[in-house]
Amino acid sequence: MARLVVSEFITLDGVFEDPGGAEGTEFGGWAFRFERGTEGDEFKLEELRSTAALLLGRVTYEEFARAWPAMEGTGDFGERMNSAPKYVVSSSLESPQWQNSSVLDPGQLDGRVAQLKRELAGDILVAGSGQLARTLIERRLVDELRLMVYPLALGRGRRLFDGLAAPSAFALTASKAAGETLILSYGRSAERYTPAAERVA
């Protein structure tokens, strides 16, 4: 049975927007200002090797689909990204062109995720895809949350957890320094936060 893993590059102040610079934002490419070291490279490669399928939002999918096919034959990472099954959650995309891609109806998200977990062996990896990641977190479908934290505060930009409908609790399962970054892994936790209005004196 597969697990659903959300893996993100993130700044100290929670920004996950445009770490590689492909979106052309004001501070885009911030992840390249720091070294993640061989530990970080090995972590990301092993993460991909453990991936049974990618689950992506439309915007991230289209960014990846523009970049990764050109990297075929450039090493294990590029080859695995291109060959892995890919599921893009979208109500508007009809004919995805990137190899091994299928469209998943947002209205059937819960059921399809449950089906994929039953059918696949390994991890179902979500990268980028902020809106999708938040939806999965809200619906308690995420089995593991991995954050590669960069020692930078941007002050503005899209933040990963902005707009969550309700608090979500996680339990720290591992932490590891990787060059100038820190990799934090969290598992699902019983809800520890109760809104004040629901507390019983």
Domain-wise residue ranges, the chain: 3-170
pLDDT at 76: 82
pLDDT tens digits for range 132-176: 999 999 999 999 999 999 999 999 999 999 999 888 899 999 999
Average pLDDT over residues 170-185: 97
Residue 58 contacts residue 98 (beta carbons within 8 Å)? no
pLDDT for 12: 97
Angle (deg, nearest 10), helices 130-138 and 109-119: 90
Is 94 a residue whose pLDDT tops 90? Answer: no
pLDDT at 79 over 60: yes
Position 200 scores a pLDDT of: 53
* % of the chain at pLDDT higher than 90: 77
At the second CATH level, the architecture of 3-170 is 3-Layer(aba) Sandwich (3.40)
